[in-house]
Amino acid sequence: MVDTVSASTIASEATTARGARASRAPRPATVSATPTIDVEWLGQYLLGTWAEARLESRRVTARPEMQRIEGLSLTEHRQRVFDQLHLLVEEGAVNKAFPKRLGGQDDHGGNIAGFEELVTADPSLQIKSGVQWGLFGAAVLHLGTAYHHDTFLPGIMSLEVPGAFAMTETGHGSDVASIGTTATYDIEAGEFVLNTPFRGAWKDYLGNAAVHGTAAVVFAQLVTRGVNHGVHAFYVPLRDVDGSFLEGIGGEDDGLKGGLNGIDNGRLHFSDVRVPRLNLLNRYGDVSEEGDYTSSIASPGRRFFTMLGTLVQGRVSLDGASTNAAKVALAIAITYGSQRRQFTAGSDTNEEVLLDYQKHQSRLIPRLATTYAASFAHEVLLTKFDAVFSGASDTDVDRQDLETLAAALKPLSTWHALDTLQEAREACGGAGFLAENRFTSLRADLDVYATFEGDNHVLLQLVAKRLLTDYSKKFAKADVGVLARYAVEQAADRTVNGTGLRRLAQNVTDHGSKARSVGQLRSPKVQRALLVDRVETMVAEVATRLRPANKASKKKAADLFNQNQNAMIEAARAHGELLQWEAFTDALATIDDPGTKTVLTWLRDLFGLGLIEKHAAWYLIHGRLSPQRAQAVSDYIVRLTARLRPHALDLVDAFGYGPEHLRAPIASGAEAERQNEARDYYRALRESGTAPTDEKAVKGSRG
């Protein structure tokens, strides 16, 4: 195993990230039959379509003044991040998403790619710039029209006008349609009058609201001529030049949070605050001087979702930033785990490197596989996002697909980042708990990624609803009998579309050969069939159980939905996992280098079989896997993990983060130096002949 490590290490010694990790112990160059990753190529490949934007952003995050300093006070941290936003403006890093005619670049994919790299400098910097340009600015851009672009965007782009995105209310988080703030049109004055009718309708958790924001895009129920046309967005000035609230506006500081304390989150409320009629961001709905409401989208429901859909980029970027944070965590933990020694096992004098322990491998390497899957899936999402927002493929269906994709992936990647940061933290023990080693701070900051920009569970329910809609469309013309029969067959025997899988299970029973069953499981077709089957079956099962809701009272229908809520969320999660697996598999098809392809195929297998193992009970209960085969999956995962261990360093080096991005002393090589010093000390002591004898040895000689 030592030889294979060496072979892959030497092969990639030339890459930047590798070169920067100076103190990795040199290992002799040996020839080995095991595959070797082309780390430089893989690194470039992982950068994806918007490689240049990512590298440009990484050059920015390499600047010390852009980076987090741990232990700052709330006030200091807020000020530092605010100053960093100005540096971003100076760097010209914030214009990509904006129109060319205003000095922007109309580069939507590149904008997000660069933006999500900011997380390695400081997640507060990522999110605060996201608030300013990705939410506040994007709302003006996407919900407003030419007047708003010309009037408001220049100040937003230059940070002359820091702003808040005032959507969420204390009483309404993910249920935006139910917010309480109203904007009532006053025909006489030609103005909208904004009001917060009760405490629960205060805008809350808004970045830039506590201190820096001098304006906001405020979401409110638009009322004109006695009719409520639903939620619309308004451009509202907040503070005057000396930072005092304008008349009718009040607020509070949200104070200290679990993380992201470089952002001044706060609350806002409005009492008869008047803005000109033109401050309605009127792309999807307008009010005339006379108070007549018009919209290009007749259905209020569709209009609402269209407006919110323009803000999908927040979810897209959280998916990417979370995956980047997981990459940083694994790069640190796997580097440390390759240097740190603990407990002697097979030797009297040499302690084992942590990553040579089976459990340590099982803690880190499967998470590395998931990180690769999330990374490839994110590239798919970003490509889709760019196609929609560049207008290249911007149909209703494209937008719906984009939103479903984002809603499916963002929960998985944000949770994965938290899980990985925590496991990496624990895998590094007490050293992992020191703030200087990054895990705890990143984890604290990323915690809220799981619930903002759409709570993860709420997003998964959106996905489930989409899956159910697709399912019912598929059977729109089928009579109830067929549908019911389909579902029963799904659950009981898989004779409709499950023949392939059924045969599979049969084979195992027939031969009982573990080698043979593992061989089949390595087939991407088999993995895909198992993953697809689970999604389809779960959706069919839920659809069948929900069927009576069509004819039930509203209350009974709601109860029925509620009784299937867990199953819906689980189906959506399975769908997201399938998307990640497909993205990983599609990526493999484009890799030419045989060594790289082999190792990444193992990694994809580890990811795919890991999903099947995680859901093994489902596969066993539904007769899709025999007990022998389920056991074979687990056994093979352990072997795959050990087989990937020699490639773990290459796999994290390919992420391309240098010491300036990792900034963790335990990943700096200091540990290897300490280990070498200790071993040298003991070796010299033994050779000197002055080493104390071990009591056990003394007794042994007496005996």
Site for its own copies in 345-384 (CB under 8 A): 345-348, 351, 356-359, 362
- Residue owning tokens 């918007």: 50
For β-strands 203-206 and 266-270, DSSP reports them as antiparallel
Could you tell me which residues come within 8 angstroms of residue 262 by beta carbon, excluding any fewer than 6 positions away? Answer: 68, 77, 78, 80, 81, 122, 124, 125, 128
Which residue's entry shows tokens 């001087």? 289
493 binds its own copies (CB under 8 A): no
Q: Does 186 bind its own copies (CB under 8 A)?
A: no
Figure out which of the listed residues 16, 30, 158, 178 binds its own copies, where binding follows CB under 8 A.
178
Task: Using the minimum distance from each CB to its own copies, give the nearer residue, 95 or 641.
Answer: 641
Establish if 305 lies at the interface with its own copies (CB under 8 A): no
Q: Is 509 in the site for its own copies (CB under 8 A)?
A: no
Q: Is 698 in the site for its own copies (CB under 8 A)?
A: yes
Q: Which helix (H) or strand (E) holds 44?
A: helix 39-47
Pull the structure tokens for residue 584. Answer: 């990983």
Among 259, 266, 366, 498, binds its own copies (CB under 8 A): 259
Between residues 54 and 367, which has the closer beta carbon with respect to its own copies? 367
The only residue of 97, 630, 644, 652 in contact with its own copies, by rule CB under 8 A: 630
Figure out which of the listed residues 434, 529, 532, 549 binds its own copies, where binding follows CB under 8 A: 434
The count of residues interacting with its own copies (CB under 8 A) is 112
Interface residue with its own copies, options 54, 96, 212, 229 (CB under 8 A): 229
Q: Please choose, out of 146-154, 390-398, 480-488, 553-561, the segment that lies near its own copies by the rule CB under 8 A.
A: 553-561
444 binds its own copies (CB under 8 A): yes
- Pairing state between β 227-237 and 215-224: antiparallel
State which residue, 102 or 560, has the beta carbon closest to its own copies.
Answer: 560
Decide if 161 contacts 136 (C-beta within 8 A).
Answer: no
Told to check if 200 binds its own copies by CB under 8 A, we report yes
Residue 436 interacting with its own copies (CB under 8 A): yes
Nearer to its own copies, 55 or 560 (CB): 560
**Crossing angle of the two packed helices 514-521 and 627-644, in degrees rounded to 10:** 70
Contacting residue, 343, 479, 510, 688, with its own copies by CB under 8 A = 343
CB under 8 A: which stretch of 58-66, 527-535, 595-603, 687-695 binds its own copies? 687-695
Angle between helices 594-614 and 565-589 (to 10 degrees): 170
Short-list 198, 164, 193, CA closest to 178 = 198
Single out the segment in contact with its own copies by CB under 8 A; choices: 426-434, 517-525, 582-590, 647-655. 426-434
| Residues 475-497: b if buried by 16+ CB within 10 A, e if exposed | eeeeeeeebeebbeebeeebeee
Question: Residue 368 and residue 384: Cα distance in Å, rounded?
Answer: 25
88 touching its own copies, by CB under 8 A: no
Check binding of 451 to its own copies (CB under 8 A): yes
Q: Residue 230 interacts with its own copies (CB under 8 A)?
A: yes
Residue 191, φ and ψ in degrees, nearest 5: -130, 155
- Name residues contacting its own copies, limited to 31-60 (CB under 8 A): none
Q: Return the range that interacts with its own copies (CB under 8 A); candidates 49-57, 194-202, 374-382, 511-519.
A: 194-202
Rounded Cα gap, residues 660 and 378, in angstroms? 24
CA 606 and chain centroid, separation: 20
Would you count residue 165 as binding its own copies (CB under 8 A)? no
Q: How far is CA 72 from the centre of its chain?
A: 27
- Report the residue number, 56 or 445, with the smaller CB distance to its own copies: 445
The string of DSSP codes covering 332-376 is HHHHHHTT-EEEESS-SSPEEEGGGSHHHHHHHHHHHHHHHHHHH
Q: Which residues contact 86 (CB under 8 A, 6 or more apart)?
A: 159
CB of 13 vs its own copies, minimal distance in Å: 26
Residue 557 touching its own copies (CB under 8 A): yes
Stretch in the footprint of its own copies (CB under 8 A) among 134-142, 223-231, 232-240, 367-375? 223-231
Applying CB under 8 A, among 14, 565, 594, 683 the residue interacting with its own copies is 565
3 contributes a contact to its own copies by CB under 8 A? no
C-beta closer to its own copies: residue 395 or 693: 693
> In the set 2, 22, 478, 638, which binds its own copies (CB under 8 A)?
638
Instruction: Return d(Cα 201, Cα 235) in angstroms, integer.
Output: 18
- The helix (run of H) or strand (run of E) holding residue 236 is strand 227-237
For its own copies, which residue of 418, 505, 587, 609 counts as binding (CB under 8 A)?
418
SS (H, E, C) 276-291: EHHHECCCCCEECCCC
Q: Binding to its own copies by residue 73, rule CB under 8 A?
A: yes
User: Looking only at residues 568 through 587 of this chain, which bind its own copies when binding is defined by CB under 8 A?
Assistant: 569
Question: How many Å apart are CA 619 and CA 613, to the nearest integer?
Answer: 9
* Interface with its own copies, residue 400, by CB under 8 A: no
Q: Binding to its own copies by residue 559, rule CB under 8 A? A: yes
675 contacts its own copies (rule: CB under 8 A): yes
Is 271 a binding residue for its own copies by CB under 8 A? The answer is no
CA–CA dist 305, 303 (Å, integer) = 6
Q: Does 450 bind its own copies (CB under 8 A)?
A: yes
Rounded alpha-carbon distances, angstroms, from residue 668 to 39, 220, 252, 661, 664: 19, 51, 42, 11, 6
If one asks whether residue 278 binds its own copies (CB under 8 A), the answer comes out as: no
Q: Does residue 548 bind its own copies (CB under 8 A)?
A: no
Binding segment toward its own copies, per CB under 8 A, in 55-63, 127-135, 210-218, 336-344: 336-344
Q: Which of 65, 488, 563, 686 binds its own copies (CB under 8 A)?
A: 563
Compute CA 497 distance to the chain's CA centroid, rounded to the nearest angstrom. Answer: 33
Q: Which is nearer to its own copies, 65 or 436 (CB)?
A: 436
Burial class (CB in 10 A: 0-12, 13-18, 19+), 270: buried
Sign of the torsion angle spanned by Cα atoms 460, 461, 467, 469: negative
250 sits near its own copies (criterion: CB under 8 A)? no
Is 440 an interacting residue with respect to its own copies (CB under 8 A)? Answer: yes
223 counts as binding its own copies under rule CB under 8 A: yes
Q: Which of residues 588-627 bind its own copies (CB under 8 A)?
A: 613, 616-617, 620-623, 627
Among 515, 693, 701, 702, which residue interacts with its own copies (rule: CB under 8 A)? 693
Query: Shortest distance, CB of residue 511 to its own copies, whole angstroms?
Result: 17
Cβ–Cβ < 8 Å for 435, 70: yes
- Subset of 285-304 contacting its own copies (CB under 8 A): 293, 300-301
Of these, 422, 472, 520, 601, which contacts its own copies (CB under 8 A)? Answer: 422
Of these, 86, 100, 101, 199, which contacts its own copies (CB under 8 A)?
Answer: 199
Assess contact for 407 and 456: CB atoms under 8 A.
Answer: no
d(CA 567, CA 699): 64
Contact window for its own copies (CB under 8 A) among 168-176, 389-397, 516-524, 533-541: 168-176
Place of tokens 């469309």: 473
